[in-house]
Structure 1
Amino acid sequence: MKILHIISQKPSDTGSGLYIRNLIKEFKKRGHKQSILCGVENLNESELGIDEVKSYPVIFNTKKLPFNIVGMSDVMPYNSTRYRDLDKDMLYKFKCEFENTIVQAINEFKPDVILCNHLYLVTALTVDIAKKIKVYGICHGTDLRQLKSHNLEKKFIMNNLKKLSGVFVLHNDQKEDLIKNFNIDKEKIIVSGIGYDDSIFYNKNLKKSKKINIVYTGKLCYSKGVRCLINAYSSLELNKNEVCLNIIGDGCNEEKKHIIKLAEKSQLTINFLGRLTQHQLSHVYNKSHIFVLPSFYEGLPLVLVEALSSGMYVISSELNGVKNWFGDNINNSGRIEYVELPKMKSLDEPCESGIEEYEDRLKKSIIKTISKVKNSKDYNEIDTQELTWSGLSKVIEKNIDL
């Protein structure tokens, strides 16, 4: 089978970038021929991030596209443009470049099937162009957030999403959302979940320090709840020799600066480790005790299963779909704590009135989990084999109807 993968932003640095790279890797093992169409800032192979796959790049910050890559999240880990900020001229140039590149990829590569990441503008353009080829969409969550937050090309997008041959979603909540709010035929929607790389993220049984190491991995932005984590952590009645917080990831706006300033005020140790490779991340996880994800909104956070598979205790906000995805085996293992979210003002913005109580709930969960670590309480190995990239790719392959 010849598969064309499409993503409008970099195939790196984000969850959807990791998703597409690992899907290509797994499909390659099964002998499928593949190519990728993606947004980039230059033609460096490291930025494309995909070896031995024909690439059709749409290059930003050029005469044809004189602005940063347009990101599916309003805050990206690299310099980006928000969809809501595209003016008529920018939108016209964006659509022209992607349309031309989609036509080129179809004519040259002649795919049997197209897999489009994000149910948004470029996926709609692809459906509109590739009328004789089956096009499947992959929902990551950030796409639905864009559709709900502003009206850029909304009618065009909605009309074309209905024409997709199928839609792969992360969890049942997304499926119900697509049926109810976007009128997509329920028979076309497949709950596929997400995957992790079990050759990298597994419990290596490395010796851990006596100091409790807490880890957060993700963007340095407010919607990820990083400020709340710092405040909750800083209020722990412990000394600097007992605990430290390692923050992994990056941001590129004022929110990152404010987060770093807030951390500098803490009486406890907080380290900013920046972006790490998957192997570096695995090493940190194996040397650490507790992973915390305080995010207000996520699609389906891969970092949770990576942390669990690496032997960590996990604390997560009660995000839609996560409990159902994990199932009773993980939820009842004693290895994960869920923290009730505050009342939300919008999809990823909490009401100010609920922040203090949310931080207190985070603090209590951290204290409870530190006690488990010290007493080796409720430590059970978890079987996560069904949640690997291999498992995900098999689900997608099985449901592609040629």
Structure 2
Amino acid sequence: MRILHALAQRPGRTGSGVFLQQLFKAGLEKGYEQAVLAGVPLEEKEPDIDNLDIKNFYPILFETAELPFPVVGMSDIMPYKSTKYSDIDETMYNMYEKEFKKVIKKAVEEFKPDVVISNHIWLLSTFIKDLYPNLKTLVLCHGTDLRQMELSKHLLPIVKEKIPKCDYLFALNSVQAQSIKNLYDVEDEQVITSGSGYNPQMFFPIKREKNKKVKITYVGKIANAKGLPHLINAIENTTNCEHLELNLIGKGSGDESKNIIESIKTKKADIKYLGALPQNELENQLRHSDIFILPSFYEGLPLVVIEALASGAKVIATDLPGLDDFLGDKIKELDAIRYISMPKLETVDTPYQNEIECFEKDITSKLDEVSNEILNDKEYKIDEVIKLLEDKTWLGLFNRLEKRF
């Protein structure tokens, strides 16, 4: 059995890139022959996938004569230089389709895959099925692809016409699965809720020493859509402000990211921007964090929430669609996670102005609540939390996909 993993953007740099590399590792563990197809800038045509030995790598090269623009990203703000799908005009699209189909043909004819695991319900998946209608194609939804339906409506007819030809569409949660069924003309049995995964060898709890401060960590893009300006405002108003330390990890691009980082300098709270960290440093950071916080307005099923829980941190997150359903009630009963009420949104990732004050107060309240538990040494049954996460590993996810090979 041969598996081709496909991703239209740079692997190893975003949530979907993590999916690709972790499923690749699971495939290696199970003895499959595998190849990777991905979009990369010309200067990075070697695979950027966590030092994995990928013998069969098929890059679609951007910033070349054939594709004279940066890699196109599924989010409008990527942790590297990128192009927005909403800015793709007819000429750019024609170049994009031509180059992707050229490399898809090369990969299929040389590697001869039995199944393709394609990331995102978007253009790349339609190109594969358009060229090879009989090649089994499993498509993973990451949430950002559903968001692009709103942001890039000129590309929607292409996607809506061809996506139903894919064999299976895998959703991160039941809410997302229903959205896919509502948006696309697909059979119920084509849409499967598969969830996400984590690596228990990388993310696990350690015996913790009492810190002088409660360590709070955010991991993700440095962008307004992640709720960061509101988190920075909210932590200033906590009762325990002097006992809190907030570390922001990740990258952004453009003025938006710069403005967020600059705003830290004017705050009295202990806030540090650590930039993007190598994987081993990120694992260590999560293991030494008391709280992980994600005040985002839009996500699929954030991998880092599961990784943070597995590392022993308590989590504060917006009540993102499907997250509570995926993690279950027992996680809440163990005080492992608190949900911030999602404000009413004007666009897919921007709240109405009159909702912001209440949103920030809710963040402040949750930070005070959880930090008080930690400062007062309230018992936390982390062993029970880890047991609840046992079926949410990458190997478990791979096994769920494998049933459809």
TMscore range, shorter length: over 0.9
The residue type equivalent to 1:199 in the other structure is Q
Question: Aligned letter for 1:86?
Answer: I
Distance 1:288 1:129, change over 3 A: same
Identify the residue that residue 291 of structure 1 maps to in structure 2: 292
Letter in 2 for 1:32: Y
- 1:238 deviates by 4.2
Specify the alignment match of 2:227 in structure 1. 225
SS of alignment partner, residue 153 of structure 1: helix
Alpha-carbon distance in 1 for matches of 2:70, 2:239: 44
Residues 310 and 48 of structure 1: is their aligned pair in 2 closer, same or farther, counting only changes over 3 Å?
A: closer
Report % sequence identity. 37
1:192-341 equivalences in 2 (<5 Å): 192-238=194-240, 240=242, 242-341=243-342
Judging changes above 3 Å, is the alpha-carbon distance between structure 1 residues 208 and 47 closer, same or farther for their aligned structure 2 residues? farther
Q: Which runs of 5+ in 2 are unaligned?
A: none
2: distance between equivalents of 1:283 and 1:339?
26
Letter in 2 for 1:105: A
Task: Flag the 1:245–1:43 CA change in 2: closer, same or farther, 3 A.
Answer: closer
Stretches of structure 1 lacking an aligned partner (at least 5 in a row): none
Deviation, 1:181, is 2.0
Displacement after TM superposition at 1:170 (Å): 0.2
**Are the aligned partners of 1:83 and 1:152 in contact in 2 as well (CA < 8 Å)?**
no
Residue pair 2:36, 2:54 contacting (<8 A) in 1 also:
no
Work out the CA distance in 2 between the residues paired with 1:223 and 1:167.
26
TM-score w.r.t. the length of structure 2 is 0.96
1:4 aligns with 4
Partner of 2:141 in structure 1? 139
The amino acid that maps onto 2:233 is: N
The AA in structure 2 aligned to 1:277 is P
Shift of 1:185: 1.4
Residues 151-166 of structure 1 aligned to structure 2 (within 5 Å): 151-166=153-168
Q: Is residue 86 from structure 1 mapped to residue 106 from structure 2 by the alignment?
A: no
Q: Distance in 2 between matches of 1:367 and 1:328?
A: 22
- Counterpart CA distance in 2 for 1:82 and 1:296 is 19
Aligned residue identity for 1:397: E
TM-score, normalised relative to structure 1: 0.96
CA distance in 2, matches of 1:246, 1:208: 18
Q: 2 CA distance for matches of 1:44 and 1:271?
A: 33
Alignment of structure 1 residues 60-139 onto 2, 5 Å: 60-139=62-141
Question: Which of 384, 392, 403 is the matching residue for 1:387?
Answer: 392
CA contact (8 A) 1:23 1:393 kept: yes
CA contact (8 A) 2:235 2:241 kept: no
SS at match of 1:272: strand
- Write out aligned runs for 1:343-354 (5 A): 343-354=344-355
Deviations, residues 310-355 of structure 1 (Å, cap 9, x unaligned): 1111101100000110012212211211110111112211111101
Partners of 1:331 and 1:125 in 2: CA distance: 42
Task: Give CA-to-partner distance per residue, 1:171-225, whole Å, 9 cap, x none.
Answer: 0001110111222211111111000111010002242422111111100001100
Tell me: CA distance 1:277–1:332, structure 2 relative to 1, closer, same or farther (3 Å). Answer: same
d(CA) in 2 for partners of 1:145, 1:258: 24
What is the alpha-carbon distance in structure 1 between the residues aligned to residue 299 and residue 128 of structure 2?
25
Q: Secondary structure at the match of 1:199?
A: coil
Residue number in structure 1 paired with 2:378: 377
Cα deviation for residue 126 of structure 1 reads 0.9
Distance in 1 between the 2:131 and 2:92 partners? 20
The one-letter amino acid of 1:110's match is K
SS in 2 for 1:394: helix
Indicate conservation of the 8 Å contact 1:316/1:338, yes or no: yes
Q: How many Å apart are 1:153 and its aligned residue?
A: 2.6
**Equivalent pair of 1:60/1:67 in contact (CA under 8 Å):** yes
Checking the alignment, whether the CA contact within 8 Å between 1:60 and 1:69 is kept in structure 2 is: yes
Structure 2 Cα separation of the partners of residues 135 and 316 of structure 1: 33
Deviation at 1:122?
1.1
| Partner Cα separation in structure 2 for residue 286 and residue 117 of structure 1 | 29
Asked if the contact 2:47–2:57 (Cα under 8 Å) also holds between the matched residues in 1, the reply is no
Question: Could you tell me which amino acid in structure 1 is paired with residue 393 of structure 2?
Answer: T
Secondary structure of the residue aligned to 1:273 is strand
- Separation (CA, whole Å) in 1 of partners of 2:71 and 2:328: 37
Does the aligned pair in 2 maintain the 1:170–1:192 contact within 8 Å? yes
